[in-house]
Structure 1
Amino acid sequence: MIEDKNPQRTPLSELGEFKLIEHLTAQFKINHKSTVLGIGDDAAILNPSKKQIVVTTDLLVEGVHFDLSYVPLKHLGYKAVMVNISDVCAMNANATQITVSIAVSNRFPLEALEELYAGIETAARLYNVDVVGGDTTSSTSGLIISITAVGEVEEDKVVKRSGAKPNDLLVVTGDLGGAYMGLQVLEREKEVFKVNPQNQPDLSMYTYIVERQLKPEARKDIVDLLKELDVKPTSMIDISDGLSSEIIHICKQSNVGVDLYENKIPLDPQVISTCEEFNIDSTTIALNGGEDYELLMTISQEDFPKIKGNPNLTVIGYMTEAERGMHLITRAETKVPIIAKGWKSFNENEKQ
């Protein structure tokens, strides 16, 4: 649980907006030739090569996307960058620059923002992206983070959601469901902590899934691996809202159907044991959990020998004609229609 053991609390009003940006971004270094001018002027200047430019943006809102009672600010900064880099990877592109904007309430001291930006700086350094701009402003409702990522990709290497063909193989990276189960553990421990604040949670049994929730990694390595294997997926998407939602996106954009095999879905042993503990079906979690930030792709059957046996890639199904529909083939070999119950940003019952 977060506990502020640092007595130093510097009010943001002591610095003012410009000094705050200067202070928070002092550690950011420029590495890409395509970054002509970064932070410090009215706008950044980029001079990309002859590649195509990919742009994506994401918004994280306190109380909707994260809970600071168990999310360390450094992890939050790191994750906010990963969410965007993951979208760039899903286009088979390499992220090169990001901008970072935050709205923050006066309950956050300077030291809290230093933690947040330390996470952003770590992510930018490890994934070799330049932080080239952004904004800070005040908020009346907690913390809001908006990150925009820019990436580049050669024109003939771009992969969209719309290129899947019948008979293509459906392939996923890594394993699924961990982030959602990590969230369940953290939520449970928060409730225990509310009742007994002296109780310190023991998360040692859940290290993998808690890390999947708090510190996900974008699969930049897969973009490099596919290049190495000489495999260009026919379609690709990142798994942010759950496997079923992403499969439906590919099927609709590509006008194809799918047969997804339940017994092929990759699950970590810790996910399986935690699902048993919570009495939740692990397939349901893999299908609907979300926030795994793995890559889901379709590849031509001709490329199967190139990926066969690769520990990073699992074939979980194959694409069919659109009229055959979207189905999960269960372990009992029955066909169940795939429907999206993934995480939704907007609650239909919420009063506007």
Structure 2
Amino acid sequence: MDKEQFIINAFLNSINGDDGAIVDNWCFSKDLFFENVHFKRSWMSLEQIASKALLINISDAIVMNAKPKYALLGLALPKNLSKAEIKALQKGFLNTAKKFNIKIIGGDTISNHKIDISITLISEIFKKPVFRKGLKIGDLLAFSGNLGQSLKGLELLQQGKKLSPNHRFIKPKIRKDFFYEIAQKLSCAMDISDGLSKDLSRLLKINNLGISWYKNLNSYELYSGEEYEILFAFNPKYENFIKQCAKKHKVKLNIFGQAVKGKYEFVGKEHHF
């Protein structure tokens, strides 16, 4: 058992263990975005850092079929950060929150030697939540968009190169309109934050199933983290409907396998510890 799962197991109950926790008609989720773990200051502007920190939280809410309403910010910031730099962070949070109709309602700040951001998002369920659990034998497994660009971008940054402001590593694409339209036809879903292979192993493990592959995916498609595309499954009878929705929202649909009896073991580098 990896240490992440060891920690999670200490707090297991009927509510946690998904992208967010569902309580009544609300979804509560949290993500961390830490300097020198998720980003370097030389890679992104302060506005981009704040925006991405919020976007990765929004991604968790959307795949639960929830609409983000409120956010709590935890900010650990260096003492030498100027007011202009703090305003840049504020701009990133506020502009992204406005785009998704989110109200920032509080939080906490402390002094730190680097920028560490913790966000709690409170979201309202749209009709019914979508969980990681619910996969059935015969369901088709799919993901949205193109995978691999985030890892390629990270490699360029590590070589000292710069990325376009619209690069996926800087600005994740959130497929909210597409997902909300297909949500009620899905068996299960989660966002791809730790790479398709790792997140697929989580999805299949919680459902005690394996996969029959339809496609040979390359290492970038399998192992690129921080993609924030959607991994989901559905009964084959909904295939035409989902294809039509993908076309309507101009989202690339990749049906890459089918759920079968068995299990799937992740083999690769852990993104956590």
Match of 1:296 among 221, 227, 231: 231
Partner Cα distance (1:340, 1:214) in 2: 27
Would the aligned equivalents of 2:132 and 2:203 in 1 still touch at CA under 8 Å?
Answer: yes
Change beyond 3 A, Cα 1:260–1:113: farther
Structure 1 residues not aligned, in runs of 5+: 1-49, 191-200, 266-282, 327-337, 347-352
Partner SS state of residue 339, structure 1: coil
Partner residue, 1:151: 123
Alignment of 1:103-122 (within 5 A): 103-122=76-95
Give the TM-score, by structure 2 length: 0.84
Q: Structure 1 counterpart of 2:125, which letter?
A: V
Q: Structure 1 counterpart of 2:102, which letter?
A: V
Would the aligned equivalents of 1:290 and 1:343 in 2 still touch at CA under 8 Å?
Answer: no
Partner residue, 2:96: 123
Give the TM-score, by structure 1 length: 0.66
Q: Structure 2 counterpart of 1:153, which letter?
A: I
Partner residue, 2:74: 101
Partner Cα distance (1:224, 1:167) in 2: 23
Shift of 1:51: 6.2
Partner residue, 1:171: 142
Partner Cα distance (2:124, 2:50) in 1: 23
Alignment of 1:22-33 (within 5 A): none
Partner residue, 1:262: 215
Partner residue, 1:59: 32
Partner SS state of residue 185, structure 2: coil
CA-to-aligned-CA distance 1:231-275 (integer Å, 9 cap, x gap): 421110100000001111111111111123334x5xxxxxxxxxx
Partner residue, 1:212: 168
Partner residue, 1:223: 179
CA-to-aligned-CA distance 1:274-297 (integer Å, 9 cap, x gap): xxxxxxxxx111111110101100
Larger radius of gyration: 1
Q: Greater shift after overlay, 90-99 or 309-318? A: 309-318
Would the aligned equivalents of 2:187 and 2:235 in 1 still touch at CA under 8 Å?
Answer: yes
Aligned residues: 246
CA-to-aligned-CA distance 1:208-246 (integer Å, 9 cap, x gap): 8x610011132222233315xxx4211101000000011
1:90 aligns with 2:63: yes
Would the aligned equivalents of 1:239 and 1:291 in 2 still touch at CA under 8 Å?
Answer: yes
Would the aligned equivalents of 2:214 and 2:255 in 1 still touch at CA under 8 Å?
Answer: no
Partner Cα distance (1:294, 1:342) in 2: 20
Would the aligned equivalents of 2:139 and 2:233 in 1 still touch at CA under 8 Å?
Answer: yes
Q: Structure 2 counterpart of 1:314, which letter?
A: N
1:344 aligns with 2:271: yes
CA RMSD of superposed structures (Å): 2.0
% of aligned pairs identical? 32
Q: Structure 1 counterpart of 2:87, which letter?
A: E
Q: Structure 1 counterpart of 2:94, which letter?
A: E
CA-to-aligned-CA distance 1:36-72 (integer Å, 9 cap, x gap): xxxxxxxxxxxxxx96110010111111111001211
Would the aligned equivalents of 1:242 and 1:342 in 2 still touch at CA under 8 Å?
Answer: no
Shift of 1:339: 2.0
Structure 1 segments, 4+ long, off by >6 Å, are none
CA-to-aligned-CA distance 1:299-341 (integer Å, 9 cap, x gap): 01111121235342221111101x3x33xxxxxxxxxxx5242
Q: Structure 1 counterpart of 2:209, which letter?
A: V
Change beyond 3 A, Cα 1:246–1:150: same
Q: Structure 1 counterpart of 2:260, which letter?
A: T
1:142 aligns with 2:114: yes
Match of 1:253 among 192, 202, 206: 206
Change beyond 3 A, Cα 1:343–1:82: farther
